[in-house]
Amino acid sequence: MKMSESINEIATALAAAQAEIQNPSKSAENPFFKSRYADLAEVLSVVRPAFTKQQLSIVQMPFTSESGQIGVTTMISHASGQWMQGEVDLPLQVNKNVNQDAGSAITYLRRYALAAACGVAQEDTDGNLGKSKGENTGEVVNLKTITNKQSDEIEALIEETGTDRVGFLNYAGADSIKKIAASKYSDVHSLLLKKKEQSA
């Protein structure tokens, strides 16, 4: 995280703004989780009025790192000239829909970076990605990943159905196809097969 030399005024303004901000409603639907969540527009709608009142502005710019990661820089500025800035990035899984995948990744990163910077709770299923019954019951969780053959099958179905890779990997709880847990293979494979049938 980077910031201006002094942050007394922006810190005071942020505290006042956060006192007014209410957690956004879950107005968007995640087809993979079959659940609803607060999308970027909804997060912005609860942040902007409070920030404007306190003379705060938000600028978010996408970037590509030297290692090929796609990311977003989020800067919060105050009328005094004071500022705070942070970056977040993730690997871009390149396929035939690279432009769509890049757009989805940028929107995803903007939503989470904005919510984190503004103290907004992300009360959606994405927040439970790392959790399983084993965490609460003490059961041993199987961390084995899918086989190369299963990975190839998933890859082929994603391309064949034009599935949003970022959204799919979010659902699968992995940052790449090869890292999908073996215990989730049946679930994600069935979802893709249903999507293939529906598009036939």
Interval 103-133: pLDDT, tens: 878 888 888 888 888 888 755 444 443 344 3
Give me the residue spans of the domains in the chain: 1-128, 130-200
DSSP state of 181: B
**Which among 152, 143, 191, 150 is positioned nearest to 168, based on CA atoms?**
191
Cβ neighbourhood burial of 103 (10 Å; 0-12, 13-18, 19+): middle
Cα pseudo-dihedral 135, 43, 47, 24, rounded to 10 = -70
Cα(124)–Cα(107) distance, integer angstroms? 16
pTM of the model: 0.56
Give residue-wise pLDDT tens across range 132-159: 434 433 333 345 888 888 888 998 888 8
Helix (H) or strand (E) holding 83: strand 83-91
